[in-house]
Structure 1
Amino acid sequence: MNTLPRINFTHTGTFCADLDNMVDFYCSKLGFVVSDKGVASTGHRLFFMTQNPEVHHQLVLFDGKPVDLPFNPINQLSFLLDSLEDLQRFYQFAKANGIGPIDQVDHGNAWSLYFKDPEGNPIEMYVDSPFYTAQPCREPLDLEQSTELIRTQTHAMCLRRPGFQTRAEWMQSISERIAEQRVRW
């Protein structure tokens, strides 16, 4: 019996109305570097961008986005950071560099901050917490507090909600469900 191979999401591409401005924002405000650039077979200029030397591109920006769309088709672009301390450092950087408004959110299973890029695309910077709670969950977060206090508050909030698990317990249960799904394939 065949089993479904593991799928890893690695990058996204988005069209831009002002490509040069968007490349500048992602490089100067989010720390990406251009790993390649050129012209696609469709004639669109494009920039491949990364923050990880092991990944050629995490983001591809194309020109050609219509400026008269009735709504923004991008719900959000989410970027995982390594630690709560990194999220706090990015929050301080964002405030100091005029990125905003910034919305800080405790999801229970993750701590997040949200803001928009120059074309209004929502961006989430987040880090996983050591807890699991059912989603959606949206509670206030104050990244000016100590990491110890943030962890304590999140733990207490998650314990009050139904279905509390540690992240490790949740990961184990999801691993089992994924294994079952692969066998069905």
Structure 2
Amino acid sequence: MSAKVTGLGHIGIFVQDLDAMTEFYRDFIGMTVTKKSASGSFLSADPAAVDHEIALVKGRPSAEDPHLIQQISMRVETLADLKDFYERVRKAGYKLDRVVSHASAIGCYFRDPEGNPTEVFWLTGYESWGIVSIPIDLDLPDDEILAQVRGNWEQVRHLKMGEQPDEALAATMFRK
């Protein structure tokens, strides 16, 4: 049987005014800013349980463009499940956007049949408060993948919840 997702992880929304939207979800809704960069904020209602449930990302399209969803993200239980989805995405011919280490998770990003950005991710067990997105090859053996993820985590493990990294570190944490 093929791997299945275990639940919704988070949703990403494109925004025009990152500060105003962050303040709304933090101050009005009551969420906690867990991760922050110049281009986005991640928020959680319960940071002890999950590092983010909403991702706010600068770059909302024009009023004529209906694509406001930045991503729909769903969890899987194991690295093997993530690799299974990765293979199925490729075999089914869905557009594969990228596969990246977030240190706290590995995400496989692709498009659903209507072009909506979709992510299936596996939580690595590393707590990370940095916004990390570094390409990773899921065709590698598990031990090599896990070593790369640990290396990514080592770079950002000192960041505290809601802390924005300096520009030099931010440049190393987000690669295409």
- If the length of structure 2 is used for normalisation, what is the TM-score? 0.52
What is the rounded CA distance, in whole Å, between the counterparts of 2:151 and 2:114 in structure 1?
37
- Tell me: CA distance 1:80–1:70, structure 2 relative to 1, closer, same or farther (3 Å): same
Question: Which residue of 2 is the match for residue 135 of structure 1?
Answer: 130
Pairs aligned (count): 103
What is the aligned counterpart of 2:151 among 153, 156, 162? 156
The CA distance in 1 between the partners of 2:159 and 2:69, in whole Å, is 31
Q: 2 CA distance for matches of 1:78 and 1:159?
A: 25
Partners of 1:161 and 1:140 lie apart in 2 by 16
* Conserved 8 A contact 1:132-1:164: no
Please name the residue that 1:106 is paired with.
101
CA contact (8 A) 1:112 1:127 kept: yes
- Report if aligned partners of 2:94, 2:113 keep a CA contact under 8 Å in 1: no
Match for 1:146: what amino acid? P
Instruction: Give the deviation of 1:126 after TM superposition.
Output: 0.3
Contact 1:158–1:164 (CA under 8 A) maintained in structure 2: no
Q: What per-residue deviation string (whole Å, max 9, x for no partner) do you get for residues 79-123 of structure 1? A: 101111110111111111101133101000000010111222110
> 4+ residue stretches of structure 1 with deviation over 6 A?
9-12
Deviation at 1:153, TM superposition (A): 1.3
Q: Distance in 2 between matches of 1:162 and 1:95?
A: 33
The alpha carbon displacement at 1:10 in A equals 6.4
1:92 aligns to 2:61 (yes or no): no
Matched, 1:144 2:147: no
**1:76 matched to which residue of 2?**
71
Letter in 1 for 2:137: D
Identity of aligned residues (%): 25
Query: Structure 1: where are the runs of 5+ without partners?
Result: 1-8, 13-67, 171-185
SS in 2 for 1:118: coil
Distance 1:144 1:11, change over 3 A: closer
Cα pair distance change 1:77/1:136, threshold 3 Å: same
The amino acid that maps onto 1:137 is: V
- Secondary structure of residue in 2 paired with 1:132: coil
Structure 2 residue aligned with 1:4:
none
Residue matched to 2:60 = none
CA distance in 1: counterparts of 2:149 and 2:155, whole angstroms: 10
Give the match's secondary structure for 2:69. Answer: coil
C-alpha contact (below 8 Å) 1:81/1:87 kept by paired residues? yes
SS of the aligned residue for 1:126 comes to strand
Q: Bigger radius of gyration, 1 or 2?
A: 1
Kindly indicate whether the alpha-carbon contact (under 8 Å) linking 1:75 and 1:122 is maintained by their aligned counterparts in 2. Answer: yes
TM-score, scaled relative to structure 1: 0.49
